[in-house]
Amino acid sequence: MKKIIIVSGDPNSINSEIIFKSWKKINKSIKKSIYVISNFNLLKSQFKKLRYKIQIVKVKSINEKEDKSDLKIIDVKLNYKNSFKVPNKLSSDFIIKSLNIAHKLSKNKNISGIINCSINKNLLKKSKIGVTEFFASKCGLKDSSEAMLIWNKNLSVSPITTHLDIKDVSRNLKKQLIINKVNTINFWFRKKFKRKPRIALLGLNPHNAEFRKNSEENKIIIPAINELKKLKIYVKGPLVADTIFIKDYKNFDVIVGMYHDQVIAPFKSIFKFDAVNITLGLKYLRVSPDHGTAIDLIGKNKANIQSFLQCIKVINKFGP
């Protein structure tokens, strides 16, 4: 079985709880393929503070064979002893190192993919960048052809712009950007499911700005749709965002919105934690749980592991 790389993510988060609870649920045959990129002492101290009893072992590479009941840790240097209050500067360096190790390891043909636990986006040093964009940059993608897909077996959603403030969405919306990302989504579905996905493309403005002459719908979105149709991609739109999630979403495989919360907020209201964040267009499979760091839940034993367990299933289902 190919190896699964888990990046422990933000040290100030519910991630250690998620990892522990999930480990208790994962099938024994899968456990032996899992390697966690983290700081050994930090994870050990967090487990101890949470009163979690689990055997962890430090390994130097994914080639080391250990007892499959042990959680294998690829150690990342972090000189700090306070378990849940690591300073931002140290957290940022630790996260960047962890993601770089994961990227390097994922070039190995013996890797099924990466699961990265939640990360505070402000710790990625560059403003307005998320893990999706980080890995896209590491893979050398220059044309914004990567796509963030929030996947559920019944419906997926994808935002054209990702981690942007609302005031910046309109000026970053481009015809070619829409074409690139929808084309990436279409390619992935055809590769994995052997069929064309039914894609709904939303407008940007309320009521699609009534299709006024100078609206983004008329200047950018409709021309992009026309080009996509020429590429024989099944796409309809621009559709209005305020009604599609009532019932019309059931007619589509993917709903593509113009900004993050336009599609992800209603999607989560329907599917809750039963979803996985997949980055399409990379040289490898990268997924993450569809939730944040939840610092308000640290140490309370209330973290929901459903999305993380779905990540394991997705890696096994869609990995190379």
CATH number at residue 290: 3.40.718.10
- Reported as a single tens digit per residue, the pLDDT across 154-182 is 999 999 998 889 999 999 999 999 999 99
Maximum distance among all alpha carbons in the chain? 65
Q: Are residues 132 and 152 in the same domain?
A: no
The residue assigned the tokens 């190919």 is 2
Task: Print the domain residue range for 181.
Answer: 143-281
CB atoms within 10 A of CB 177: 17
Task: Using pLDDT thresholds of 50, 70 and 90, give the confidence band for residue 66.
Answer: low
The mean per-residue pLDDT over the stretch 232-254 comes to 96
| Of the candidate ranges 137-146, 165-174, 184-193, the one whose mean pLDDT is the lowest | 137-146
Please check whether residues 263 and 128 belong to one and the same domain.
no
Percentage of the chain modeled with pLDDT above 90: 66
Q: Are residues 16 and 112 in the same domain?
A: yes
CB 284 within 8 A of CB 150: no
As a whole number, mean pLDDT of residues 70-97 equals: 88
113-117, 190-194, 282-286, 289-293: least confident range: 289-293
Are 1 and 113 contained in the same domain? yes
- How many domains is the chain built from? 2
DSSP string for 158-216: EESS-S--HHHHHHH--HHHHHHHHHHHHHHHHHHHSS---EEEE-SSGGGGGG-TTSH
- Is residue 265 domain-shared with residue 291, that is, in the same domain? no
Residues 266 and 170 in one domain: yes
Burial zone of 141 (CB within 10 Å; 0-12 exposed, 13-18 middle, 19+ buried): middle
- pLDDT tens column, 287-306: 999 888 888 888 888 899 99
Report the candidate in 282, 319, 277, 279 with the shortest Cα–Cα distance to residue 118.
277
| One domain, residues 158 and 265 | yes
Same domain, 290 and 304: yes
56, two tokens? 């962890």
Q: Are 133 and 164 found together in one domain?
A: no
Examine the domain organization and report whether 159 and 259 are in the same domain.
yes
Contact call for residues 183 and 228 (beta carbons, < 8 A):
yes
Q: Which pLDDT score, from 0 to 100, does residue 115 have?
A: 96
- pTM: predicted TM-score of the whole model, two decimal places: 0.89
Residue 268 and residue 164 in one domain:
yes
**63, pLDDT greater than 90:** no
Question: How confident is the model over 85-111, as a mean pLDDT?
Answer: 91
Q: Is 80 helix (H, G, I), strand (E, B) or coil?
A: coil
Same structural domain for residues 4 and 44?
yes
